[in-house]
Structure 1
Amino acid sequence: MATTRADGAAGRSKADADVIVVGAGPGGSSAAYHLASAGLDVLLLEKTTFPREKVCGDGLTPRAVRSLVDMGVDTSPVAGWARNRGLRIIGGGVRLELPWPELASWPDYGLVRPRLDFDDLLARHAVKVGARLHEGTAVTGPLLDERTGRVVGVHARTGTDRAPVTFRAPLVVAADGNSARIALALGIRRREDRPLGVAVRRYYRSPRTHDDFLESHLELWEGRPRESRLLPGYGWIFGVGNGTSNVGLGLLNTTDAFQNTDYRDLLRRWLAALPPEWGYTEDNAIGPVRGSALPMGFNRTPHYRDGVLLVGDAGGMVNPFNGEGIAYALESGRYAAEIAVQALARPDGPARERALGQYPELMRARYGGYYTLGRFFVQLIGNPTIMAFGTRYGLPRPVLMRFVLKIMANLTDPRGGDAMDRLINAMTRLAPAA
Structure 2
Amino acid sequence: MRTVARKYQGPFVSETALSPLPDRPRPSDEADVIVVGAGPSGSTTAYHLAQAGLDVLLLEKTAFPREKVCGDGLTPRAVKQLTAMGISFEDEGWIRNHGLRIIGGGVRLELPWPDLTEYPGFGLVRTRYDFDELLVGQATRAGARLRERTNVRAPIIDERSNRIVGVTAKGPDGETLRYRAPLVIAADGNSSRLSVAMGIRKRDDRPMGVAVRTYFESPRHEDDYLESWLELWDRSGDKDVLLPGYGWVFGVGDGTSNVGLGILNSTSSFRDVDYRQLLRRWTDGMPEEWGFAEENQRGPIRGAALPMGFNRTPHYSRGLMLVGDAGGMINPFNGEGIAYAMEAARLAADVVTHAMARPNQRERERVLLSYPRILSDAYGGYYTLGRVFVRMIGNPEFMKYATRYGLPQRTLMTFMLKMLANLTDPRDGDAMDRVINGLNKMTPAA
TM-score, normalized by length of structure 2?
Answer: 0.93
Match of 2:292 among 272, 277, 280: 280
> CA offsets, 1:330-372, max 9 Å, x none?
0111111111111111244211110001100000000000000
Alignment of 1:239-258 (within 5 A): 239-258=251-270
AA of the residue aligned to 1:40? L
Match of 2:61 among 47, 56, 71: 47
Match of 1:219 among 216, 228, 231: 231
Moved segments of 4+, more than 2 Å: 9-15, 224-227
2:48 corresponds to 1:34: yes
RMSD in angstroms over aligned alpha carbons? 1.6
Give the distance between the partners of 1:421 and 1:12, measured in 2 at CA.
Answer: 49
Give the distance between the partners of 2:285 and 2:206, measured in 1 at CA.
Answer: 33
2:78 corresponds to 1:68: no
Match of 1:107 among 104, 117, 120: 120
Partner of 2:176: helix, strand, or coil?
A: strand
Give the distance between the partners of 1:254 and 1:348, measured in 2 at CA.
Answer: 47
Matching residue of 1:302: 314
Matching residue of 1:5: none
Match of 1:20 among 28, 34, 40: 34
> CA offsets, 1:186-223, max 9 Å, x none?
11111000000000000111100000000000110121
Partner of 2:351: helix, strand, or coil?
A: helix
Alignment of 1:121-200 (within 5 A): 121-159=134-172, 161-200=173-212
2:95 corresponds to 1:82: yes
The verdict on how the C-alpha distance between 1:134 and 1:395 changes in structure 2, with shifts beyond 3 A counting, is same
Give the distance between the partners of 2:333 and 2:62, measured in 1 at CA.
Answer: 30
The answer on whether the counterparts of 1:17 and 1:42 sit within 8 Å (CA) in structure 2 is: yes
The answer on whether the counterparts of 1:68 and 1:75 sit within 8 Å (CA) in structure 2 is: no
Partner of 2:400: helix, strand, or coil?
A: helix
Partner of 1:401: helix, strand, or coil?
A: helix
2:418 corresponds to 1:406: yes
Alignment of 1:90-101 (within 5 A): 90-101=103-114
Partner of 1:297: helix, strand, or coil?
A: coil
Partner of 1:177: helix, strand, or coil?
A: coil
2:305 corresponds to 1:325: no
> Displacement of 1:227 after TM fit?
4.9
Give the distance between the partners of 1:317 and 1:421, measured in 2 at CA.
Answer: 22
Give the distance between the partners of 1:15 and 1:53, measured in 2 at CA.
Answer: 28
> CA offsets, 1:149-190, max 9 Å, x none?
10111110111x311000000111110010111111111111
Partner of 2:325: helix, strand, or coil?
A: helix
Matching residue of 1:6: none
Question: Structure 1 stretch 10-19 or stretch 26-35: which is displaced more?
Answer: 10-19
Partner of 1:351: helix, strand, or coil?
A: helix
The answer on whether the counterparts of 1:303 and 1:360 sit within 8 Å (CA) in structure 2 is: yes
AA of the residue aligned to 1:163? E
Partner of 2:209: helix, strand, or coil?
A: strand
AA of the residue aligned to 2:193? R
Give the distance between the partners of 1:240 and 1:68, measured in 2 at CA.
Answer: 18
Long gaps (5+) in structure 1: 1-8
Question: Structure 1 stretch 202-211 or stretch 348-357: which is displaced more?
Answer: 348-357
> CA offsets, 1:283-340, max 9 Å, x none?
0001110000000000101000011110000000000000000000101111111111
> Displacement of 1:373 after TM fit?
0.4
Alignment of 1:192-211 (within 5 A): 192-211=204-223
Percent identity between matched residues is 63
Question: Structure 1 stretch 80-89 or stretch 348-357: which is displaced more?
Answer: 348-357
Alignment of 1:340-351 (within 5 A): 340-351=352-363
AA of the residue aligned to 2:176? P
Question: Structure 1 stretch 400-409 or stretch 139-148: which is displaced more?
Answer: 139-148
Give the distance between the partners of 1:195 and 1:345, measured in 2 at CA.
Answer: 37
Long gaps (5+) in structure 2: 1-19
Partner of 2:231: helix, strand, or coil?
A: coil
2:377 corresponds to 1:365: yes
> Displacement of 1:79 after TM fit?
4.0
The answer on whether the counterparts of 2:73 and 2:126 sit within 8 Å (CA) in structure 1 is: yes
Partner of 1:336: helix, strand, or coil?
A: helix
Give the distance between the partners of 2:275 and 2:29, measured in 1 at CA.
Answer: 46
> CA offsets, 1:226-249, max 9 Å, x none?
951211000000000000000000
TM-score, normalized by length of structure 1?
Answer: 0.96
Match of 2:324 among 312, 316, 328: 312
Q: How many residue pairs get matched? A: 424
2:257 corresponds to 1:238: no
The answer on whether the counterparts of 1:174 and 1:311 sit within 8 Å (CA) in structure 2 is: yes
Give the distance between the partners of 2:119 and 2:385, measured in 1 at CA.
Answer: 21
Give the distance between the partners of 1:319 and 1:310, measured in 2 at CA.
Answer: 16
